[in-house]
Structure 1
Amino acid sequence: MRIQACSPAWQTSQHLRRYLLLLIGLFLFTGCAPTNDTSASANTQTPIPTWIQTGMRSPQSSSVTLHITGAKHGSYAWQSHIFTSKLRHGLKEFTIFLQDQDHSLIIAFYGYEGARTYTLEGPINGGDVRLDFGHEGGAWDLQLQAGIRCQLTIIHDEPAIQPNVNRMQGSFSCPQLSAVGTQTPEIIAIPQATFDILMIHES
């Protein structure tokens, strides 16, 4: 009987074939291996996204508590599990936006430099604070006028468990917010408000 030598190309294809079969076998073995249901369910955690974007849902809530006097008065507590607050443009453009059903809060200004106290004034740093209580409840806003201002204090600003997200805690007060879209001048004041916000670092 005559034995023919195998060509190098044939030997290479056989090696590749064995390698692929080995990979498939390992895949099937790890995919079908029995697991302990009790321990698996106890240790299963929701994977954290590699990059958080506006509109994503968070397992942790952002919240604000408000005490309001004037044309509308009372105490309110709102919360949300959606990422909507962020720092942009070199982390200088500051925007808190929290919406709880048809109620919402906006705090915005330019010139954020970390945890400290800021004066928000429209003509100076684009500062704005707006409260919206829905279609029936009305809305109040910081007027774009010199001398009318709010005070914002950031007490805590540290990285959260999510990537590119910080947990920010602080307080704010506004002596005068004006009603939006009304014929009569209605004024409210926010003597005390606190917040605990998840803030996206967008750019």
Structure 2
Amino acid sequence: MSELNIADALLEIQEGEVDIEHDIRIAHLSAGDIHDHLNDAVDRLEESPLNVSRPELFDKLRCFVRDFSMLKPHVCNRVADVLLSGINAHIDLIAQQSKDPNCTSLAHHRDALERFAFLLQWLVSVAEARESAKNAEEVAATGRVKRGRGTRKKAATGDADDHWDWPGQRLRTLDTMR
């Protein structure tokens, strides 16, 4: 497990030169392959949230975040859910281990926490950009921004899978980071 240099990783993102060793072009995959990759990530994180430090899994998650703007809304929701569930499971694991009187150090959790924090920060950045682009398209098309209209109606008619609920996900993300 190589350590993550957050400063370098954030610079790569800002410069648009993200180098991912185990690169997967998520946006070019079939729906079934995307589903399989997400299920694999979920399985590995459920096995142990510390698995986020494994290069193959971390790179897979980075690929999903990097290609986020090109993903279908239901995949965006699932990616956010995977990351939030993973960090929450890791926080629970740390809390559980810290109560153990035989536990002498929690230092081995630092790398995994940094990786989850990095992924969530990047997710917030790309999700905000996606939302801004969507709002700009709406303004260009209609001359005004739609704010939350029709969401309940879509959910009631079964189109919820095709709706990216960034405001709701943003609240969950910020609540988790708090």
Fold agreement, TM-score > 0.5: no
Instruction: State the TM bucket, normalised to the shorter chain.
Output: under 0.3
Larger Rg: 1
| Structure holding more strand per residue | 1
How high is the TM-score relative to the length of structure 1?
A: 0.18
How high is the TM-score relative to the length of structure 2?
A: 0.20
| Structure holding more helix per residue | 2
